[in-house]
Chains A and B, each alone.
Chain A
Amino acid sequence: MDKDEIGIDLTPRTNKQPRMPRWVPGLVLLAVALTIMGLIWFLATNSQSFLEADQAVAEREELGEKRFQLLGSPTSTAGSDQTFIVENNEYTFFTIVFDGVYVDVVSQGTPPDLFDQGVPVVLEGNWENSPLPIEGYIFSDGVNDGWWFSADRILVKHDNDYRKDRIDDAENRGQTE
Chain B
Amino acid sequence: MKIKFMAIKETQNNTTSSRITRFLGSCLVLGVPALILFAFVFSPKDDTMEDAVRLLYIHVPVAIFSYIAFGITAIGSIFYLWKRSRWWDTTAHASAEIGVMFCALTLITGSIWGRPTWNTWWEWGDVRLVTTLVMFLMFIGYLALRQVPASPEVRAKRAAIVGIIGTINIPIVNRSVEWWENSTLHQQSSLTDGNLEDLTLFTWFLGTLIIGIAYLWLLIHRFRVGWLATEYEAQGYGVAIEERQAEARAHNTETSGHLEEGEVE
Contacts and interface: CB of A to CB of B under 8 A. Distances in A.
A4 to B, nearest CB: 11
B134 A39 contact: yes
A91 B134 CA distance: 38
Contacts, number: 130
Nearest to A12: B244
Interface string A31-57: 110011011001100111110100000
Contacts of A35: 134, 137-138, 141
A114 to B, nearest CB: 6
Given A6-B264, A20-B149, A166 B195 contact: yes
A79 interface: no
Given A5-B263, A162-B53, A166-B195, A157 B130 contact: no
Contacts of A119: 48
Interface string B182-194: 1101011110010
B30 interface: no
A43 B255 contact: no
B117 A156 contact: yes
B107 interface: no
B49 interface: yes
Interface in B118-154: 118-120, 123, 125-127, 130-131, 134, 137-138, 141, 145, 148-150
Q: Determine the main DSSP class of A at the interface with B.
A: loop
**Contact size class for B?**
35 or more
A63 to B, nearest CB: 16
Interface in A60-97: 71
Contacts of A113: 116
Nearest to B127: A47
Given A10-B248, A19-B149, A25-B158, A46 B125 contact: yes
B21 interface: no
B165 A112 contact: no
Given A8-B248, A48-B125, A28 B185 contact: no
Given A18-B149, A48-B183, A28 B158 contact: yes
A112 B116 CA distance: 8
Residue from A28, A46, A47 having most chain B Cβ neighbours under 10 A:
A47
B205 interface: no
Given A8-B248, A154-B119, A157-B185, A162 B158 contact: no
A5 B141 contact: no
A163 B196 contact: yes
A155 B126 CA distance: 12
Contacts of B218: none
B183 A50 contact: yes
Contacts of A20: 148-150
B138 A32 contact: yes
B31 interface: no
A92 B190 CA distance: 32
B188 A160 contact: yes
Contacts of A43: 127, 131, 172, 180
Nearest to A157: B185
Interface string B229-253: 0000000000000001001100110
A130 interface: no
B252 A8 contact: yes
Contacts of A157: 118, 185, 187
13 contacts: A5-B263, A18-B149, A31-B141, A35-B138, A35-B141, A48-B183, A112-B119, A116-B48, A122-B185, A159-B187, A160-B193, A162-B195, A162-B197
Interface of A: 1, 5-8, 10, 13, 17-20, 24-25, 28, 31-32, 35-36, 38-39, 42-43, 46-50, 52, 71, 112-114, 116, 119, 122, 154-164, 166
Interface of B: 44, 46-49, 53, 56, 116-120, 123, 125-127, 130-131, 134, 137-138, 141, 145, 148-150, 158, 162, 165, 168-169, 172, 180, 182-183, 185, 187-190, 193, 195-198, 200, 244, 247-248, 251-252, 255, 259, 263-265
- 5 cross-chain pairs, A with B, having the tightest CB-CB distances, nearest first: A48-B125, A112-B119, A160-B187, A160-B190, A161-B195
